[in-house]
Amino acid sequence: MVLTIAGSDSGGGAGVQADLATFAAFGVLGTSAITALTAQDTVAVRGITLVDPAVVASQIDVVLDDLPVTASKTGMLGQPGTVARVGERAAGGRLVNLVVDPVLVSTSGDQLCSDQAAMVDAYRRHLLPHAAVVTPNVAEASALTGVAIGAAARQGGAVDAMVDAGRALVALGTTVAMVTGGHVGGTRAPDVVVGPGDVVMVIDGERVATQNDHGTGCTFSAALAVGLAQGLSALGSARQAKAYVCDALRAAASWHLGHGRGPVDHRVWVHDAPRSPI
């Protein structure tokens, strides 16, 4: 069983909706704590209502008090107070196998937090030190570490800069940092994994040509959390998550939904056989 702590996406492509769809595709029961309500479609985020941090904390507590959650993940947290409340539970050992997806901006480019500078500080102080895995894209990794990955990418040095950012994230306390390369550009989409002891690995992949990529970060981090719940290593979980997302992108490439960037096909790995909940 996996817990997602994230915002709701009314368009269904990202956020809690994407997380729960991903959990279901792997045959895993999902639970949730809602951090924000968004009025959102494939084109833009039209409005955001943040949930009081105390209410978010209450949702987390009642789930953990009753149900056997074996992995957790965060998505859009929206405000520093919520990051702090989640961090308190992580510091207390309640959020096992915690995957932190430090969502700051949507696929459409809309800000998903009240104050980015304050959010970055809150992540660095309250949440990253307790993460099993952190999964920022290149923009989020740059914001969290100060490493200018975008500038390096324009000179052909994206992977090296992603490694530097991963090392900086590990230095902040996260056990494993995975900087995802879907926004780097070019024909490849390399993800960089940095672990304890300065272990560095690159999980390369061909870029999928599609306009339907809304919610890929949420989907990837949710799939990674499932892998940890299943007992896979962080690297094994990352490899499985990347394969799943790539297949979901390919399966949805021909879809024509909405007027912007459509969702991926979360059903691509749906298991038909009954499975025990974990």
User: Domains in the chain, start-ordered, CATH in brackets?
Assistant: 2-269 (3.40.1190.20)
* Helix spans in the chain (H): 15-25, 53-66, 80-91, 116-122, 138-145, 149-154, 158-171, 216-229, 234-252
Tokens of 248: 């979901």
> Over the Cα atoms of the chain, what is R_g?
17
CA–CA distance, 227 with 133 (Å, rounded to integer): 12
**Close Cβ partners of 1 (under 8 Å, ≥ 6 residues apart):** 28, 29, 30, 31, 67, 68, 69, 70, 229, 277, 278
* Nearest C-alpha neighbor of 275 from the set 51, 77, 25, 35: 25
Tokens of 239: 């490899």
| pLDDT at residue 46, rounded to an integer | 93
pLDDT tens for the chain, 278 residues long, are 999 999 999 999 999 999 999 999 999 999 999 999 999 999 999 999 999 999 999 999 999 999 999 999 999 999 999 999 999 999 999 999 999 999 987 666 667 776 889 999 999 999 999 999 999 999 999 999 999 887 776 666 789 999 999 999 999 999 999 999 876 766 788 899 999 999 999 998 888 999 999 999 999 999 999 999 999 999 999 999 999 999 999 999 999 999 999 999 999 988 554 444 44
Say what the pTM is: 0.93
